[in-house]
Amino acid sequence: MILKKEERTMFLVTKKEEIFFSLFVEMSEFACLAASKLDDLINNYVDIDEKVEGIKKIEHECDQVFHRVMHQLNKSFVTPLDREDINTIARELDNITDTIEDTAHSFRMFNIKSINDDAKVLSDLIVKSTVELNAMMIELKNMKTSKLLAPKVIEVNRLENEGDDIYRSAMTALFADGMAALEVIKWKQIYEFLENSLDACEEVANTVEGVVMKNA
């Protein structure tokens, strides 16, 4: 009997190839850490330079794990998922820490003096989203039998939708409060950075949902 490509992959996967799942978990842990550090920056707005540099260091460490994924992908004959899917998940996880770093830099770059409540709410949603993604990555290797992945995907999407509502409300208030033009420009950019971080989380969740369906 000649097996289809996906069937051969399923039966030939070894513990060695499962390293991809471990690397995904490691990248998601860096995303959680970066989100937590951003939340600390926003809610305890002191020692700005030190905190931004700390997030930059986390992003660099996540980049290193991403390169390990690519190196492993290049040398692996058999992979537990399609190569394209492994590449996409890794890149999207890396993008979360990238966007969080961009957000952190924006506070220093725009010389922000104080933080408003909408930014704090959006930051909290980013933290919650990365926690869900971390749980999702831990569970991914069990995708064929897992009952937890689908609810995690739904929750990340819910958090992103909540973030959209906060973002729109914040932008509306921004242009209605009579704020100085320069401050409007600064905060418009910051809200967009925060929203981009939430979008990056949702991208991972949606990709995982597609991978699970493909491998069902």
pLDDT of res. 17: 67
**Average model confidence (pLDDT) for the chain?**
92
Instruction: Say how far residue 191 (Cα) sits from the centre of its chain.
Output: 17
Residue bearing tokens 């921004």: 174
Domains and CATH numbers, the chain: 14-215 (1.20.58.220)
Nearest partner of 70 among 27, 110, 104, judged by Cα? 27
- Average pLDDT over every residue of 23-44: 98
pTM of the model: 0.91
Helix H or strand E segment including 122: helix 117-139
Q: Which residues, 6+ apart, have CB-to-CB distance to 111 below 8 Å? A: none
Determine the Cα–Cα distance for residues 85 and 176; give it in Å rounded to an integer: 44
Q: Given pLDDT bands bounded at 50, 70 and 90, which one contains residue 14?
A: low
- Average pLDDT over every residue of 15-25: 86
Q: Which residues, 6+ apart, have CB-to-CB distance to 102 below 8 Å? A: 193, 196
More confident residue, 8 or 191: 191
Q: Which residues, 6+ apart, have CB-to-CB distance to 141 below 8 Å? A: 18, 21, 80
Per-residue pLDDT at 9 exceeds 70: no
Q: Given pLDDT bands bounded at 50, 70 and 90, which one contains residue 2?
A: very low
How is residue 28 written in tokens?
């998601």
Percentage of the chain modeled with pLDDT above 70: 92
195 contacts 164 by C-beta, under 8 angstroms = yes
Per-residue pLDDT at 208 exceeds 50: yes
Interval 66-123: pLDDT, tens: 999 999 999 988 899 999 999 999 999 999 999 999 999 999 999 999 999 999 999 9
pLDDT of res. 142: 93
How is residue 209 written in tokens?
């949902």
Per-residue pLDDT at 177 exceeds 80: no
Per-residue pLDDT at 147 exceeds 80: yes
